[in-house]
Amino acid sequence: MKLYSYFRSSAAYRVRIALNLKGIAYETVSVHLVKDGGHNKRPEFRAVNPQMRVPALVTAAGDVLIQSLAIIEYLDETHPEPPLLPRDPTARAKVRALADLIACDIHPLNNTSPLRYLKNEMGQPQSAIDAWYHHWIITGFEALEALIEPEPYAYGTRVSLADVCVVPQVANARRLKVPLDKFPKIVGVEQAALALAAFDRARPENQPDAE
């Protein structure tokens, strides 16, 4: 498989973790999201993903899949071990809710495109953009902190899709210097997950395109 990725992309980080957990070998194709206004805007990448975002996964059959959660569910369905969603429907809904809280409600507000829009089209100073970023991470993390019960992972004793989303979002928060002292449970989940090789190998600093 081939993964269009960028070392700092938290959505690509989720897919890297899932590929590693499943033991799937893949080739990284780096798409620099910052240089020259973003190499993701180039026609050659637009031809891969019309949304011009990473990740995009080219499967062994040559299909191009986009959207990290759709890709991860595809990987979970085609490579069932270890499962990233529990079997019980209630537990599945709870794990998906933790993942969606991050992927649908925190991450889109703090992504490169909206931040650039705040700066360039809305004329906001960097201080306002930083305040926006911190605000949406902190309100999201307050809910997440109340919902998780590290045992030691975000949902029980097995790694799940929830951990796959938590770890990259915490990495983003750390990079943007969001204080995490109010979130001991989230940090506990991060630490338990990063102790696993599949998570550690997926870290931004361990990627071939790391800067």
- Residues in touch with ligand GSH (CB under 6 A): 9-11, 33, 38, 40, 53-55, 67-69, 103, 111-113
Rounded to the nearest 5°, which phi and psi values hold at 13?
Answer: -60, -40
How far apart, in whole angstroms, are the C-alpha atoms of residue 6 and residue 40? 10
**What tokens does 125 get?**
């100073």
Nearest distance from C-beta of residue 48 to ligand GSH, angstroms:
12
Nearer to ligand GSH, 71 or 148 (CB): 71
Nearer to ligand GSH, 171 or 198 (CB): 171
Q: Beta 2-5 vs 27-30: how paired, if at all?
A: parallel
Nearest distance from C-beta of residue 192 to ligand GSH, angstroms:
23
**What tokens does 14 get?**
């989720």
Nearest distance from C-beta of residue 68 to ligand GSH, angstroms:
3
Nearer to ligand GSH, 56 or 186 (CB): 56
Give the CA-trace dihedral at 142, 146, 177, 4, to 10 degrees.
-100
Nearest distance from C-beta of residue 126 to ligand GSH, angstroms:
18
Nearer to ligand GSH, 55 or 150 (CB): 55
**What tokens does 150 get?**
């590290």
Nearer to ligand GSH, 105 or 145 (CB): 105
Nearest distance from C-beta of residue 111 to ligand GSH, angstroms:
5
